[in-house]
Chains A and B, each alone.
Chain A
Amino acid sequence: MSQKKKSGTELLYSLIAEIRKYDDSIILGRGDPDFDTPAHIVEAAHQAMQNNLQDYAPPEGILALREAIAQRVQTVNGISVDPETEVVVTNGGQEAIFLMVLATIGSGDEMIVPEPNYNTYSDALAFAGGVSVTVDTFPENAFEVDPKRIEAAVTDKSKVLLLVSPNNPTAGIINADNAKALIKVAQDHDLIILADDIYDLFVYDDYKHVSFASLPGGKERTLTLNALSKAYSMTGWRLGWVIGPADLMQRVKQLKAAVTGGTSIVTQHAAVAALTGPQEPVEAMHAAYKRRRRLVLDALDEMGLGYGVPQGGQFVFADISSTGMDSADLARRIVEEQHVLAYPGSAFSPDRKQYLRMTFLQPEEKLQEGLRRMKLTLANIAAGR
């Protein structure tokens, strides 16, 4: 293993293992919200442990949760689904990704992937025997996905188009016009769209999130995933879902039954509380992320680093090319010198060695301290030290 270049996932996990050695570490790379899970959700889990532990948990999820999900995606995303046949509950967004890819990709099938992207898609695609066909996005236009470039990538083996908005790690959002154009590309070439909506509640300034399945021509060919981890600070709970047309969802359900069976009954009841209970905690988190986003962008400006304006999500993709360093080397140096971890862009795409992904998932004081320390290393590099 030591002789092989680390994969993106392996690189990230090696850096995480490294930073854990330090008591004063500050992690600005991971995607786990730092807020506590709202109290009413925890209480619902407690009640479920008292009263529901013996409830049957079918692979697709309990009906009450599927109904809550259907209500949520209608209200927030404008997508109408039948909870009986068009919703499957998963063990987190990660399992949703895995199931969506396995349900739609066979050996040799191509998935068109705007890059950079969250490395898990490549891992799932490799497992399914699929082939990734990447299409670059650029900071000059905030990493927007260009429908013409997507269409140019279509071949006779193309099966799936992956669309993540807001995107991880770039934080770019696909606007409504491009979304419609991308659906047309999918229609013209009979592609299935895999849509990742996990950051749909976290958009900034005047940007708007658009769900592909809510647009004309989108619903019948789109599988959409979401999860509670980001919006409700429930990363360790592992609760997500996939929605889509009944024929594709039947396949997703079969795979869910084969891969993990059910999802924890306790988590499912907690999820019902999350989706149907008070939403003020989500709004409070969003307000905090807005403030922190400003902090990070101001700090990057002071460091002289460029970035595509983060339109959504919980992170910014900063251009570190002015340092002259590879992002993996820079990330490692910052870990060693400052005990601060930002994720190297090369973990998300081999062609993005000049980027670092920084999240704003720390309390403001810690965020400021982490950024202050990073500035020290960047100053040393600029001074040739």
Chain B
Amino acid sequence: PVDSTNGLLPTLAGVKTALEAGHKLFYLESPVRLTGQAFNESEVSALASLFKEHDATVIWDQGMSPWMDQAAYFPLASHPDMNKQVTLIGEAWPGSGIEHMFLGYIASSPAWMPQMTKQKQIMAICTSTASQYAGLAAANLYTEQHTEQLERLAQTKKAVIDLLSPAYGTTAIFNNSTASVLALSLSEDEKSKCISRLQSAGIGYADGKDFGDDSIIRIAMTFDDVAITACQQLVEGL
């Protein structure tokens, strides 16, 4: 089960119950892709203890973590010995303009990698050579521009929250950790209007129904003013 008061993160009690029932493979997102909420330090420590105790394996999706303040991000794999039990997945160099070249990564222990590599070969042989070389260039670009991009997104998000809070109330807005998205919990009618406005504004959004929660809409923050303008139009249209 997930906690609607904690950005839809799985509850620690739920993870413990699943482990005690004998489950050995877990898929966890941190941040949660729909809401942008990440496990905090004490939660990650508690998870590490549980997974170590039960010798479970974890696939840790950290794809949205680059858009967090890294001082506030706590990866499970950084705990002692957890790197043998954790496989990391994510997108390569977000914000470098190569999103539609579909370059991602898996990082795992030597014990797991041969099987994963074999599976990759079965499914697709390899990743496009052009995408891989673009990734090399993107790595350098990321280093140069990521900090500034993160600051801009954070400013955008603050401005958007200031715009939407009076309209929807602060309880509707997920107080998440990730600067790249803002998630709202809305009624069906509110959500429908919101989607219509966002589509008109040409701004990216994700419908929670595609993630299993109809009540949520996730708005993409932008480096420029598009997200702010779109949310202004959204509020004016209410």
Contact = CB atoms under 8 A, between A and B. Distances in A.
A120 B122 contact: yes
B129 A237 contact: yes
Contact of B123 (A45, A98, A237, A263): A98
B127 interface: yes
Interface of A: 1, 9-10, 13, 45, 49, 53-57, 91-92, 94-95, 98, 120, 123-124, 127, 236-238, 259-267
B123 A95 contact: yes
Contacts of B134: 49, 266
B97 A263 contact: no
Contacts of A54: 97, 100
B97 A236 contact: no
A260 B101 contact: no
B11 interface: no
Nearest to B204: A56
A259 B104 CA distance: 12
Contact of A53 (B98, B114, B122): B98
A180 to B, nearest CB: 33
Nearest to A7: B118
Given A9-B118, A237-B129, A262 B100 contact: yes
Contact of B124 (A10, A13, A92): A92
Interface in B104-159: 114, 118-119, 121-131, 134
Contact of A260 (B118, B119, B124): B124
B27 interface: no
A98 B130 contact: no
Contacts of A127: 119, 122
A215 B97 CA distance: 45
Interface residues of B, number: 20
A362 B101 CA distance: 30
B102 A45 contact: no
Given A237-B128, A263-B102, A266-B100, 20 more contacts: A1-B114, A9-B121, A9-B122, A13-B121, A45-B130, A53-B101, A57-B100, A91-B127, A91-B128, A94-B121, A95-B123, A98-B124, A238-B124, A238-B125, A238-B128, A261-B102, A264-B102, A265-B101, A266-B134, A267-B130
Contacts of B97: 53-54
13 contacts: A1-B114, A49-B134, A56-B100, A91-B127, A91-B128, A94-B123, A120-B122, A237-B130, A259-B123, A260-B102, A264-B102, A264-B131, A266-B128
The residue among A91, A237, A259 with the most chain B CB atoms within 10 A of its own CB is A91
B122 A264 contact: no
Contact of B100 (A55, A94, A237): A55
Contacts of A264: 100-102, 128, 130-131
Nearest to A53: B97
A258 to B, nearest CB: 12
Contacts of A237: 128-130
Name B's interface SS.
Answer: helix
Contacts of A91: 124, 127-128
A123 B115 CA distance: 13
Interface of B: 97-98, 100-102, 114, 118-119, 121-131, 134
Contacts of A94: 121-125
A92 B125 contact: yes
Contacts of A267: 128, 130-131
A9 B117 CA distance: 12
A45 B126 CA distance: 19
A267 B114 CA distance: 28
Contacts of B101: 53, 264-266
A120 B119 CA distance: 11
Contact of A236 (B121, B122, B124, B129): B129
Contacts of B125: 92, 94, 238
The residue among B125, B126, B127 with the most chain A CB atoms within 10 A of its own CB is B125
A25 B150 CA distance: 49
A311 to B, nearest CB: 26
A119 to B, nearest CB: 10
A264 B125 CA distance: 15
Contacts of B119: 127
Nearest to A55: B100
Contacts of A262: 100, 102
Nearest to B120: A94
A13 B128 CA distance: 19
Nearest to A120: B122
A94 B119 CA distance: 12
A262 B126 CA distance: 15
Q: Ordered nearest first, which 7 A-B pairs have the shortest CB separation?
A: A236-B129, A265-B100, A123-B122, A94-B125, A238-B128, A95-B124, A264-B101
A259 B124 CA distance: 10
Contacts of A10: 118
Contacts of A261: 102
Nearest to A46: B130
Nearest to B119: A127
Nearest to B131: A264
A283 B100 CA distance: 32
A194 to B, nearest CB: 16
